[in-house]
């Protein structure tokens, strides 16, 4: 129900800008272009070995696109909002996926004909819309639950197709991000302050941007970001940029990606033309070493019973999503884990804690973590005793799918849509 493709296929926005396009469907105030349909169909056909010339297949793909637009229309009716941070996180995930598919950042930029940072700015509005569509869907179905009887009935109906459950590992971790250290932030802030002082003394903004800015999408253009509507940049950036008088400089502005120096060039209503110099937070060998040493000390303290793994995770882990649960990551099959983590787990007994290892989050984020193996679940045939929670999730998904189909029929009745294929 929550389609992964929802975000991975937004690149059609860029393709649509490059070719003359045809409208194949209209949903409320949104349109679906032939380029979007072709791109989605090509992707799905490659994944499922389908024939692109099959008209039934094309109509199925178009219906998927229409349903996504209907969800966005309902999200607008429900006044669903998403934060800048949520949009940025999804964009990072999408860009990293594209880079992995094309093989390199350079190849991705070649395919799109623009730097990665400009790709992000181009896709930002579509990302926001797709997040809104996901959120209205989650709001509708997040409270759906199933009874024990429903789970048992589902298992009785589908147990033959559930097959063998692979070996699983229940794990926790304590994660340290070298970039979160105050020394790293101080270093980046100091450089930004020095550049701001140079600008105030008459240095050329474009020259400094080309030399020092860590925004590859604008650095080569002297930091020029062009005309952009409100809602595209980080909220911290926009709060300052929209308050500036044309030609004036900001102070040093902190955002989730680092420190900015902003100059407003021109403003037209809710659109601004600005340029900036971005200094990102960059870890170094010293920061990496400190993270490793800190985790080693924590591991030694846990083994000596100074405190528990769970307590240290709550207090020190930089993974805020898991730290509040004592570092619990969950239960995973081996193909769900990165090689470094899997290599550790293979050598651990239940209750053991591994040594600090590097963990790649995405192409821009990494850190170091220690992993604790809570439980090892051997390979087995699916059964209600060992796999109840997983079977329960499948039962809930099946129930939600049925309810989703009914809801989608209701949306099609109340929200305008038509096909032009």
pLDDT tens per residue, range 14-71: 544 444 578 999 999 999 998 888 888 887 887 777 888 888 899 999 999 999 999 9
* Domains assigned to the chain: 5-144+399-419 (1.10.4030.10), 164-178+284-381 (3.10.50.40), 182-280 (3.10.50.40)
- Say which residues have a Cβ less than 8 Å from residue 119's Cβ, sequence separation at least 6: 11, 14, 95, 108, 109, 112, 217
| H runs (alpha helix) in 49-181 | 55-77, 84-102, 105-112, 116-141, 148-162
Answer for the pair 131, 82: CB distance below 8 angstroms, yes or no.
yes
Answer for the pair 358, 366: CB distance below 8 angstroms, yes or no.
yes
Distance of CA 137 to the CA centre of its chain: 18
Task: State residue 74's pLDDT score.
Answer: 96
Helix (H) or strand (E) run with residue 206 in it: helix 205-212
CB neighbours of residue 292 within 10 Å: 18
For the chain, what percent of residues have pLDDT higher than 90?
57
Task: State residue 6's pLDDT score.
Answer: 38
Task: State residue 285's pLDDT score.
Answer: 78
Answer for the pair 165, 381: CB distance below 8 angstroms, yes or no.
yes
Task: State residue 349's pLDDT score.
Answer: 95
DSSP string, 384-398: HHHHHHHHHHHHHHH
Task: State residue 126's pLDDT score.
Answer: 87
In whole angstroms, what is the distance from residue 41 CA to residue 57 CA?
8
Answer for the pair 119, 112: CB distance below 8 angstroms, yes or no.
yes
DSSP state of 180: G
Looking at every residue in the chain, the average pLDDT score rounds to 88
Q: What is the pTM of this model?
A: 0.56
- Say which residues have a Cβ less than 8 Å from residue 187's Cβ, sequence separation at least 6: 282
- Say which residues have a Cβ less than 8 Å from residue 186's Cβ, sequence separation at least 6: none
Task: State residue 66's pLDDT score.
Answer: 95
Task: State residue 118's pLDDT score.
Answer: 84
In whole angstroms, what is the distance from residue 378 CA to residue 188 CA?
48
Q: Six-digit token pair at 75?
A: 């999200």
Task: State residue 19's pLDDT score.
Answer: 46
Q: Six-digit token pair at 127?
A: 């990302």
Task: State residue 100's pLDDT score.
Answer: 75
- Say which residues have a Cβ less than 8 Å from residue 279's Cβ, sequence separation at least 6: 188, 189, 191, 192, 195, 212, 213, 214, 258, 259, 260
Mean pLDDT, residues 179-207 taken together: 90
């Amino acid at each position: 129900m929550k389609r992964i493709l929802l975000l991975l296929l937004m690149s059609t926005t860029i393709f649509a800008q490059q070719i003359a396009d045809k409208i194949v469907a209209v949903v409320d105030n949104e349109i679906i272009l032939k380029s979007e349909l072709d791109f989605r169909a090509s992707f799905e056909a490659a994944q499922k070995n389908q024939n692109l010339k099959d008209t039934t297949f094309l109509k199925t793909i178009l219906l998927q696109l229409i349903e996504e637009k209907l969800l966005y229309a309902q999200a607008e009716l429900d006044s669903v909002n998403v934060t800048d941070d949520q949009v940025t996180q999804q964009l990072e995930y999408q860009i990293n996926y594209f880079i992995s598919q094309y093989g390199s950042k350079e190849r991705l930029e070649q395919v799109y004909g623009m730097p990665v940072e400009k790709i992000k700015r181009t896709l930002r509005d579509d990302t926001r819309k797709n997040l809104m569509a996901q959120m209205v869907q989650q709001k509708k179905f997040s409270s759906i639950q199933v009874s024990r009887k429903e789970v048992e009935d589902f298992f009785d109906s589908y147990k033959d197709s559930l097959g063998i459950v692979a070996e699983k590992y229940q794990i926790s971790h304590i994660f340290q991000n070298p970039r979160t250290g105050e020394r790293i932030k101080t270093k980046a802030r100091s450089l930004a302050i020095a550049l701001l002082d140079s600008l105030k003394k008459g240095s050329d903004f474009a020259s400094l941007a080309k030399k020092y800015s860590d925004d590859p999408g604008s650095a080569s253009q002297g930091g020029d970001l062009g005309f952009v509507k409100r809602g595209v940049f980080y909220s911290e950036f926009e709060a300052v940029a929209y308050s500036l008088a044309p030609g004036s400089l900001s102070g040093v502005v902190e955002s989730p990606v680092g420190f900015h120096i902003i100059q407003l060039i021109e403003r037209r209503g809710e659109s601004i033309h600005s340029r900036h110099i971005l200094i990102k937070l960059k870890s170094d060998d010293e920061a990496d070493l400190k993270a490793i040493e800190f985790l080693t000390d924590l591991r030694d303290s846990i083994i000596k019973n100074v405190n528990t793994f769970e307590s240290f995770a709550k207090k020190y882990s930089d993974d805020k999503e898991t730290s509040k649960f004592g570092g619990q990551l969950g239960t995973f099959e081996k193909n769900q884990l990165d090689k470094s983590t899997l290599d550790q787990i293979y050598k651990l007994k239940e209750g053991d804690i591994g040594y600090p290892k590097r963990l790649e989050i995405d192409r821009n984020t990494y850190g170091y973590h220690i992993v604790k193996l809570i439980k090892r679940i051997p390979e087995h045939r699916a059964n209600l005793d060992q796999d109840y929670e997983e079977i329960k999730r499948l039962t809930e998904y099946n129930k939600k799918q049925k309810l989703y189909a009914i809801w989608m029929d209701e949306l099609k009745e109340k929200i305008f849509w038509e096909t032009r294929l």
